[in-house]
Structure 1
């Protein structure tokens, strides 16, 4: 049947273990390796070498299922020497962030804009972000070259994982990631992993990606706070669906929260949009999509 290697960063270990359990239940031999975050050049090299040693241990066909944040899988797709898997399937455990002509870079909290002026705004924003992350890009390129990567030029560090995959399975519905006219054909939005029930009629949160998805999957409208880069992006996307009210502050007052909850409860459009998204999540089966993808490559 072949085997499966699953990679996970520390912050996404629980999600990837859920995937491991589903694969084992389908009768697959699965090995899990983990790595630290945030990724650095040294971490990429160490992760890649560990993965290569594991791949070399068996001549069986092997599919790698990787957490998108585990960068040690990337040299396999960009020309590094060494054993190659039958396929690299990456799982989007974080908000989808591939560069697009229709959206600004993730982290800026800007809504998409497909107009000519908007696409010019987006282009300039990507230039700004790539310049700001120039040092990170240099470290990424240096690490990739150190393990024998020959591909030139290498993609932008934040795009590289999505572009590297034979199949990229994003844990989300497409609307929560903004619909983009240039999304590659190997990208699929597969919904969310199973989660525990959330009590209450409205979810109040500082806006982690996991919490937003859990709430929407259960048709719960949200009141969101927080302005870190991750919160700003995730909360702006949630608000754009019409299922969340976003208080763009790190320190909302108690009165602010109460008023926001009253608005969400009294305006039926919030719940209606949450129910619409819940229906989309219900139509999708993330674990089945991932295991089916693995098995399609092992059959080749």
Structure 2
């Protein structure tokens, strides 16, 4: 049996795929050590993996990043992205590098598995040839970031070029994108130099090319074709979203299915201001013959919605946490702020989408929803009531969206991501 180290930035959406991975590998008899933030200790223990927490000086709670990083508060989306790259993800890298070296000295793993923001594992791959170190895998928990002749630069959510003129326009955009991120690039280069290694390329390329393999958590039909993808890049399908074994169903659960079920969520990170998507969705669908499940992903979310609305429409169920693996098979439509994991989960269940996201990687995810034909992209993170109503009626009223979502579901079912990861791990033993 193999020894495996998992490591993930302590964001719920980053850690969730690793919980399924840890549980599966331990069931197969492998020894798994999981290095991440302290708030996930209980969930990791439930997988059977051994938990190792981040050192206290680099630990934080993703539900309130501004408490740990007060200078982050109030920044524009673009400035917040640059801030996070430098101070949330990059600055702790030397601490994580040292800690991972200590872990590997005591626990000689043959495989280290991280994700795009796990910068601390990259020096392992840069310091030594493959024969002298563990295999380094990265799980693609967000759309691929690397530059390609066949796509626009990552970020603004532009579809692949359809003409030579568009291809030329996209090529001309790439130096400007690099320039916009030059400060973050320089910051990260200095950090890697402090660890005695060099970042070999633009960080968005290095995130994908430095690991020995990049396992993209989706299917080809939900990703733009690239003729120049790195040799270690492969699609493996989408991992299960969560563990639903101990969840107690609400009283109204048995009524679902009497009419179309529309689920709305702002995800686990961007849920502080529920007026972005959840409240306007409730207002938009109040008189439609649908059941709305508003999943606020925070314990006080239902009370916050009631406080804003005064009276909650009769066709709405409010809930904090809900296991989407159970809810989505009963659903006709997911309205979401375009988190990558949530979109993958919907498509694994053949559920079409309405997406509204404009921060982090969400414009890219939303663009892929429209490009693949599985839903409507509202092109904003704050859609108004009429726009949401129109999009919902369009998706529910046009069978092509559901048909396309079912086509993608069939493609997901042809992948066995947990088997793929286990096979890679077991080849290293």
In the alignment, the residues of structure 2 paired with residue 68 and residue 249 of structure 1 have an alpha-carbon distance, to the nearest angstrom, of: 25
The answer for the alignment partner of 1:169 in structure 2 is 215
In the alignment, the residues of structure 2 paired with residue 260 and residue 70 of structure 1 have an alpha-carbon distance, to the nearest angstrom, of: 36
In the alignment, the residues of structure 1 paired with residue 420 and residue 332 of structure 2 have an alpha-carbon distance, to the nearest angstrom, of: 30
The answer for the alignment partner of 1:95 in structure 2 is 143
Query: Which blocks of at least 5 consecutive residues in structure 1 are unaligned?
Result: none
- The alignment status of 1:264 with 2:395, answered yes or no, reads yes
Deviations 1:220-278 (A, max 9, x none): 11111232342211101111001111112333233322221121122121111101111
Q: Choose which of 319, 330, 334 in structure 2 pairs with 1:203.
A: 334
Q: Choose which of 219, 225, 242 in structure 1 pairs with 2:350.
A: 219
- The alignment status of 1:280 with 2:411, answered yes or no, reads yes
The answer for the alignment partner of 1:235 in structure 2 is 366
TM-score (normalizing by structure 1) = 0.91
CA contact (8 A) 2:373 2:401 kept: yes
The answer for the alignment partner of 1:30 in structure 2 is 32
**SS of the residue 1:106 aligns to:** coil
1:40-189 alignment to 2 at 5 Å? 40-58=89-107, 60=108, 62-79=110-127, 85-113=133-161, 115-149=163-197, 151=198, 154-189=200-235
Shift of 1:113: 1.3
In the alignment, the residues of structure 1 paired with residue 356 and residue 114 of structure 2 have an alpha-carbon distance, to the nearest angstrom, of: 31
CA contact (8 A) 2:6 2:34 kept: yes
Deviations 1:157-214 (A, max 9, x none): 1111210111110111123221111112211111111131313211111211122111
Deviations 1:106-148 (A, max 9, x none): 2111111164333322222221111111111111111111111
The answer for the alignment partner of 1:10 in structure 2 is 10
- The alignment status of 1:295 with 2:297, answered yes or no, reads no
The answer for the alignment partner of 2:239 in structure 1 is 193
CA contact (8 A) 1:61 1:85 kept: no
CA contact (8 A) 2:139 2:216 kept: yes
TM-score (normalizing by structure 2) = 0.65
In the alignment, the residues of structure 2 paired with residue 290 and residue 2 of structure 1 have an alpha-carbon distance, to the nearest angstrom, of: 12
**Alignment root-mean-square deviation, CA:** 2.1
Shift of 1:84: 5.0
In the alignment, the residues of structure 2 paired with residue 41 and residue 194 of structure 1 have an alpha-carbon distance, to the nearest angstrom, of: 28
Shift of 1:297: 2.0
**Closer, same or farther: CA 119–297 of 1 in aligned 2, 3 Å:** farther
Q: Work out which of the two has the higher radius of gyration on C-alpha atoms and give 1 or 2.
A: 2
In the alignment, the residues of structure 1 paired with residue 382 and residue 8 of structure 2 have an alpha-carbon distance, to the nearest angstrom, of: 33
CA contact (8 A) 1:207 1:235 kept: yes
Deviations 1:267-296 (A, max 9, x none): 121111101111111111111111111111
In the alignment, the residues of structure 1 paired with residue 378 and residue 91 of structure 2 have an alpha-carbon distance, to the nearest angstrom, of: 38
In the alignment, the residues of structure 1 paired with residue 391 and residue 91 of structure 2 have an alpha-carbon distance, to the nearest angstrom, of: 45
